[in-house]
Amino acid sequence: MLQGEGQPTLRDRVEQHLQTIYRDVPLSLPLAELAENLLAVMRLEAGQNPPAQHVNHWNQCDVILITYGDSLLAREEKPLVTLKRFLDDNSEGLLSAVHILPFYPWSSDDGFAVLDYSSVNESLGDWDDIGAIAGDYDLMADLVINHCSSRSLWFENFIKGQEPGRGYFFTASPQDDLSAVVRPRTSPLLKEVETSEGTQYVWCTFSHDQVDLDFRNPEVLQQFVSIVRHYLDMGVRIFRLDAVAFLWKIPGSNCLNLEETHEVVRLLRTLVEHARADAVLITETNIPNRENLSYFGNANEAHCVYNFSLPPLLLNTLVTGDCRYLKQWVMSMPPAQNGTAYFNFIASHDGIGLRPAEGLLSDEELNSLITTMQSFGGHVSYRALESGESRPYEINIALVDALQGTVEGPDEWGLERFVCAHAIMLGLEGIPGIYLHSLLGTHNDQQRVENTGHARSINRHQWNLDALQEALDDQDSSHSQIFRRLKTLLAIRRRQGAFHPNATQFTLHLGSAILGFWRQSMDRRQSVFCISNISRAPQPLNLMDINLIDAHQWRDLISGEVYEHHDQQLELAPYQTLWISNLPDHR
């Protein structure tokens, strides 16, 4: 049935998605019935009017803090309560949203091998604690959609041939052509298991404790739609679709970014935005840049995509003192349509991905970057190639240690370099995400790596809250200096219309040692020239080079300096950033 002047109903749209997803899959139930089931699970009406399209559900005030639920610990207090108390006491309204990494019961990978999607890990707290955070901050949660734990009830039932779980996991034969499969790990792809139906080989993209789900089975899709509905009810507004690029598998293909995968994202977008108009989907796809951008679709897939190429390119820029590669990439990035945005980050719980730099940095540049990071205490994780060889996949290091020096070694400019990196990210088009350990200037945790045996643990430190507060109260500590300076940048950013995630951006050409770009507010009232010296040598800058309009009085929003003459000659200190605006900073 069509609603209004030939417009498809919500049920029609859902059924169209399903036709694409299951076009090559024989089903035991009609697609119309499956569509009705999904609408019932989401509590949606078949003829429900669609939400307005191309609407930006964000502005320059939005900043997402990324953290584990137990990164901050206090005696005799649930970690989620401790987290909220720290945010309430210290964030000063500068953080609009919190991404709590998987807070469900799990068996490995620090949460990404989920045992039970419907529960909160008792060691962290409960749904009331999650709700308290969601009441004061936009809550971002992981939808770990590609795989779940091999110790989950679903997988136990798969082995027993019972429901729910029977037929939930993707199986293949060792004789299948799997040579083209793209993976981020070096472990064997297939895991042999004995089941009630005999020996089967389950697909494990990431680890043998993380078994891939089989979305060819519509019951799996219904389960995840039910999980989405539950998370919405619990206050989740932003959904991070973890490892979604690997979702659909077809032996003989690379099993990455398949059309069925994109259509599942489109279906989730349709369902979620009808359930909550300002809900946001973010795809986590640690893949080469062009493939990553494909998850925007035609503004009908992800609202936001992780800007995975930014971390390695910005890190390379600051350790080499040369911004050419970063500048070329910034120039090549298409403006996000209204209703979509880039999700910018330069550090996270994972490492600094190298695949998103493929085709952007040469092998020589990548090898130099890897060698430099290893000299700063970093580790390297690898992935398997079709040939059976291994290739570096990511660098594991705390960002403050990654920026302690240059390719020539450590120096005295580490703090300024670290702040410069964040000033660049905060100025760029997109919504910024800041990892808690970057906000706090947390160093490499080599002891945690030794304890866990996992390289990624280097950047997953757990702070005792009393020790952290003592460090932040010490005005001379690096933690205190970083925390205060980053909060100052966040406070300035939120007051500038030119820093709206969708505001116009244009790249400036100021040489290889100065990165510059221009932002203009959507109402065209404000211009901000973002200019950073990305080298450890002072750099001259003549304001004539950025063509300031004489009719305005220009000032640096960071230092407060006013520029009386538009041909004024400046000298940028090592790693100094200017945000030169034609409007005063309204405090």
Q: Where is the binding site for substrate, in residues?
A: 109, 147, 240-242, 349-350, 456
Choose the catalytic residue: 242, 401, 445, 556. Answer: 242
With residue 125 as reference, give the H or E element that holds it.
none
Say how many C-beta atoms besides its own lie within 10 A of residue 338's C-beta.
Answer: 13
User: Nearest CA to 415 among 350, 327, 480?
Assistant: 480
Say how many C-beta atoms besides its own lie within 10 A of residue 128's C-beta.
Answer: 12
3-state secondary structure of 539: strand
Which residue intervals of 3-63 are DSSP H helices? Answer: 10-21, 31-42
Q: Where is the binding site, in residues?
A: 109, 147, 240-242, 349-350, 456
Half-sphere exposure of 68 (CA within 13 A, CB side): 21
Return left, alpha or beta for 6; rule: phi > 0 is left, psi -120 to 50 is alpha, else beta: left
What distance in Å separates the CA atoms of residue 451 and residue 423, rounded to the nearest whole number? 34
What distance in Å separates the CA atoms of residue 263 and residue 269, rounded to the nearest whole number? 10
Chain mean position to CA 133: 20
Rg (alpha carbons) of the chain, rounded to whole number: 24
What distance in Å separates the CA atoms of residue 284 and residue 302, rounded to the nearest whole number? 10
Annotated catalytic, 233?
A: no
Q: What is the largest CA-CA distance in the chain?
A: 81
Long-range contacts of the stretch 279-283 (C-beta < 8 A, 24+): 279/232, 279/237, 279/238, 279/239, 280/57, 280/58, 280/237, 280/238, 280/239, 280/304, 281/238, 281/239, 281/241, 282/140, 282/238, 282/239, 282/240, 282/241, 282/306, 282/343, 283/241, 283/244, 283/245
The sign of the torsion formed by the CA atoms of 65, 68, 72, 76 equals: positive
Burial 73-109 (b: 16+ CB within 10 A, else e): bbeeebbbbbbbebbeebbeebbbbbbbbbbbbbbbb
With residue 6 as reference, give the H or E element that holds it.
none
The residues annotated with a catalytic role in the active site are 242
